Amino acid sequence: MAELRFEAIGTSWQIDTRNPLATQLVDAIRERIELYDATWSRFRADSFVSRVAETAGTWRFPADAAPLFDLYRQLYDTTDGAVTPLVGRRLEELGYDRDYSLRPATHLTSVPAWDDVMHWDDGILTTTQPVVLDVGAAGKGYLVDIVAGLLRDAGIDEYVVDGSGDLVHRGDQPLRVGLEHPFDPKLAIGVYDLANGALCASAPGRRAWGTGLHHILDGLSGEPTTTVAATWASATTGLLADGLATALFFTTGERLASRFDFEYVRMFPDSRVEHSRHFTGELFT
């Protein structure tokens, strides 16, 4: 087995393949990630979304934006507005900003309703006011898909792409994944057998910066969520798995299952867990 480790979008990545990747492919992966970051990172002053945040207007997004916006809209509707890319401004105000000031502002604005401030149609975003987009709910899972797509295009049929815990797997041998305990990273609450699909996790704990302050915001109240401790979702793509892992903080698995095909585990602050019926793994109960 060959491992490629690197840092990207502020976190650790690893790609496991049977044989080492060609230098050309590694370069292509780096460039693709850089392009994605230049589009979506609200932590970069020169990114596309940072321009969108400055002024209202009509914005033509790169081709990869459509699946992300489309999923966001579906999640927005299914969670009655709780999952929304429009939490960006509020996250900044709470201190999760470009400089990681981690200090909440005294005045907080509410998260705008999607249809009040923007319209997405066929690759073009029209905004009626400056909007701070944050695609943290599904963006990393989507980037894992994109990297996996580059491997597939290169003829590689056995791989694991690990975007610091957001995983896409392909191959005959299932991957045994520990589900990290949200309150103690030395522990696992269970294991999941991932085969030819994606597994993504969401948990606020380790990225909290103060009392009740973390990055998973409810778009309706603008407040960080408190009802769920951690979620894991498995689906055919990282985009979907990541988005659903976030959505499970705001709505039930059953409601999401009426629209999406996935498996999941959800853990509550009191250590109770629930899981979908065909979850392939073990929970330590």
Partner 1 sequence: MTITLRTKTALVTLASIGLLGTLAGCSGTAQADGTSGGSGVATTGNSTGSTTNGTYKDGSYNADGSYVSPGGQETINVALTLKANVVTAITVKTVTADPTATQYEAMFVQGISKVVVGRTLDSLAVTKVSGSSLTSQGFDKALEAIKTAAAK
Q: Which is nearer to partner 1, 131 or 267 (CB)?
A: 267
Q: How far is the CB of 44 from partner 1 (least distance, A)?
A: 12
Separation between Cα atoms, residue 204 and residue 215, nearest integer Å? 6
Cα 186–Cα 142–Cα 249 angle in degrees, nearest 5: 55
Q: Which is nearer to partner 1, 25 or 167 (CB)?
A: 167
Q: How far is the CB of 238 from partner 1 (least distance, A)?
A: 11
Q: Which is nearer to partner 1, 118 or 168 (CB)?
A: 168
Q: Which is nearer to partner 1, 8 or 133 (CB)?
A: 8
Q: Which is nearer to partner 1, 66 or 102 (CB)?
A: 102
- The residues near 91 (Cβ < 8 Å, ≥ 6 apart) are 97, 132, 134, 136, 215, 217
Provide Rg for the chain, Cα atoms.
Answer: 18
The answer to whether 41 and 9 are in contact (CB under 8 A) is yes
Separation between Cα atoms, residue 224 and residue 198, nearest integer Å? 26
Q: How far is the CB of 227 from partner 1 (least distance, A)?
A: 6
Q: How far is the CB of 117 from partner 1 (least distance, A)?
A: 26
Q: How far is the CB of 266 from partner 1 (least distance, A)?
A: 8
Of 56, 232, 53, 237, the residue nearest 139 (C-alpha): 237
Separation between Cα atoms, residue 182 and residue 151, nearest integer Å? 31
